Amino acid sequence: MEYSGDNKMVLKPIRISKKLDENGEEEEAILLSPPSRMFHEPNYNVCIVAIMGWKVPIKVDAIKAEIQHKLLKHPRFSSLQVMDESDGSREIRLVPTAVNIDDHVIVPQIAGINMDTDKFVEDYISNLSTTTIDMSKSLWDLHILNVKTSDAEATSIFRFHHSLGDGVSLISLLLSLFRTSSDPTSLPTLPVSSSSKDKSNLSINNRENIWSLIWKYLVKLWLLIKLLFNTVVDILRLTATMLFLKDSQSPFTVAQGFKSNRHRFIYRTVSLNDIKFVKNATNVTVNDVILGITQAALSRYIHRRYEVEGKRKFSLERMRCRATVLMNLRPALGVQAIAEMIEKNAIVIQGNCFSFSLIPLTIAELENPLDYVRKAKTSMDRKKHSLESRCIFYSLHFFLKFFGLRGATTLCERILSRTTLIFSHVIGPLEEVSWSGHPLTFVAPTCYGHPTGLMVHACSYAKKLTFVIAVEEGMTPDPNQLGDDFVDSFMLIVEAALSNKIENHS
C-alpha cells in the first residue's frame, strides 16, 4: 500500500507468503466482488467494529487458539487483498497467505493507567477510528483490553474491513465461534422471522362465490398499484436527494469542509423484554420500537441544543430528518450452517449484499411518548410496500457496470451525506453465550468511514439490547448526553406503555 500525492490510498502488488492446502498445493486466488471493492475507494474506506464486553478477564492465549483453529479457516480472514495488474484489469483478488496470529491480536499495555477506565476504553476505541488496517496483512484485527469498566470485566474490539463482507454475514461468522453458556457444546440460536403467511384457500372445496373471489383479486390489484406508486415516489425522492435535496441543519449535520477523521462511540444497554412489552402493547414490531426510541432521543437532544444555544428559529416539526436504514438482501446462512462449514473446510464466500432505504424521522415534542413508536410504524409499513431498496441495489450495479467504482461510490456518498443518520439493527443470540470459556455480557457492533455525521446501530443479545451511537468528534456536542437521551426516551416510552395498559384494564 502507498499514498499518492493527494493522500489517497492506493493498493499495490505486494510480496506474499503463499498458503498451502491439505494436499500441499497453493490455494487459488479469489476475485473480490465490485460491491466489496467500493469500500477501498477514497472517502469510502469503511471498517466494521464489534465492541464486546466480557464477564471475566480475557485469557489471550485461549482466544488466539480459538481464532487459529476456527476463524482462520475462513478464506477472507486468511487472505491478502492484492491488486492484480497482470492483465491490465486492476482487479483486487483474495490471495491465501500464511497468517501470523500475533500480528492480528493486539494487547496494549494498560497497567497503571491514571484515568477513569470507562474513559480510557472509550478513547481507545475512538483512536482506532483514526487508523486504517494494514493492507499488508489480512484485513482484520482484535484488540483486547483487560481492564474493568462499569459495563464489563474486560473489553475487546473486533475490527474488520467492510470489504470482507456485510455486517450480517460477519456477525454470523463471529457468533459461530461462540457456544451457549448453559451448554458449551451448543451453538447460539438466532430468532427466525416468520415468513410463513396464512395463504388464502381459493380451492373449489371452499365453495366461495364469485363476488368473494373478485374482491380478493381487487385487493391484490390495489396492493400492486400501491407498491408501484410508492416505489415511483421513493425513487423520485431518492433522485432529488442525490441531486439537491438535503436534510435540515442539525447538530448531526456534517458542515461543508468539516473533516474530523475521528469518531466517538457511545453505547447504552436497555432491557429487550421491555422493548417487547412496548411492541405488544402497541401492536408493532421490535424494529418499530427501536426506531421510535431513536426518534424520541434525537428530538430530546435537538430540542435541548437549540433551546440552550438560542438557535431555535423554526418549529422542530418542520425539520427534514431522514435515516438511511440498512437492509440485508441475502438470506442469512445462519450460525449452524457457518459452523458446519468451518468444521468441513467448505466455507461459502459471502461478500456484501445489502441495500438501504430512506426513512423520514419525526423530530418533535410529542405529548404521548408512544406516538414516536406509532409514527415509526407508519413510516416502516409504507416502506414495506415499496421496492426502493431493491431499486437502489440494482442501480448501484448499473453504475458499477457503466460508470465504474468511482461512479457507484459517488452515488452512495451523495445520498448518505445529504441524510442525517445511518440506522441498522442486528439480531443477536437468544441466550447468553461464551467464547472459549469467556461469558459475554454485551455486543455492540458499529462502523466508521461513512460520509455521514451520525450512525445508530442496535444489537440484541439475550435479554438486552445495546444502542451504539457513532458521531464525528468535534461536530456533535456532548455525545454522552445523546446516549443518555436514548435511555431516558426508552424509559418514558415503557412508562407510557405501562400506563396505557393499566388504563385499558381499569
Average pLDDT over residues 441-463: 91
Position 475 pLDDT exceeds 90: no
Q: Which three cell numbers stand for residue 336?
A: 449452524
User: Which residues, at least 6 apart from 487, have a Cβ–Cβ distance to it below 8 Å?
Assistant: 268, 270
Q: What is the reported pLDDT for 343?
A: 58
How do beta strands 179-180 and 263-271 pair? Answer: unpaired
The pTM is what? 0.85
Position 195 pLDDT exceeds 80: no
The three-class DSSP label of residue 294 is helix
Position 417 pLDDT exceeds 60: yes
Q: Which three cell numbers stand for residue 47?
A: 471498517
pLDDT grade, residue 259 (50/70/90)?
low
Cα–Cα nearest to 57, from 146, 120, 121: 146
Position 474 pLDDT exceeds 60: yes
Domain boundaries, the chain: 2-180, 215-428+452-457+469-505
Q: What pLDDT, in 10s, does the model give residues 102-150?
A: 999 999 988 777 778 899 999 999 999 998 888 888 999 999 999 999 9
For the chain, percent of residues with pLDDT exceeding 70: 81
How do beta strands 433-435 and 438-448 pair? Answer: antiparallel
pLDDT grade, residue 337 (50/70/90)?
low
The three-class DSSP label of residue 384 is helix
Measured CA to CA, the distance from residue 323 to residue 284 in angstroms comes to: 19
Least confident of 24-33, 87-96, 138-147, 478-487: 24-33
Cα–Cα nearest to 297, from 249, 252, 262, 260: 252
Q: What is the mean pLDDT of the chain?
A: 82
Annotated catalytic sites, by residue? 162
For the chain, percent of residues with pLDDT exceeding 90: 44
Q: Please check whether the two domains, 2-180 and 215-428+452-457+469-505, share a CATH topology.
A: yes
215-428+452-457+469-505: which CATH topology?
A: Chloramphenicol Acetyltransferase (3.30.559)
2-180: which CATH topology?
A: Chloramphenicol Acetyltransferase (3.30.559)
Average pLDDT over residues 282-308: 90
